[in-house]
Amino acid sequence: MKRSVVEFSDEAIADLDASFEWGCEAWGAPQAAKWYFEIRDRISKLLSKSPLGYPLAPQQHRYKAETRVLTIERYNVLFHIEGKLVTILHIRGPFTER
């Protein structure tokens, strides 16, 4: 079975960076760095296997293309699929403005 290629948009990286900064203040830099790399790896692993297995996003109407959502803990990962390419659009935490 061919795996999908997962790429993070600039906006998704900015979302992760903002959560990392919050984590540095709340938990300290080592724990925040551990979280950062674990969530990135987890997103990539899950979406490279079966991206179509996740539901359509409730806010899909805001996007031009079909948008799906993967929920990991308190985070919603919004993404598009085009062929074998999965593009992460945003990674929204519980306190992220929509």
pLDDT for the residue 97: 55
d(CA 84, CA 98): 27
pTM of this structure: 0.88
Q: Which H or E run contains 76?
A: strand 75-82
* 50 Cβ neighbours under 8 A, 6+ residues apart: none
Domains of the chain: 5-92 (3.30.2310.20)
d(CA 40, CA 2): 20
Its sign, for the CA torsion 57, 75, 45, 40, is positive
pLDDT for the residue 95: 59
pLDDT in tens, the chain (98 residues): 679 999 999 999 999 999 999 999 999 999 999 999 999 999 999 999 999 999 999 887 888 889 999 999 899 999 999 999 999 999 998 755 54
pLDDT for the residue 27: 94
d(CA 50, CA 35): 23
pLDDT for the residue 44: 96
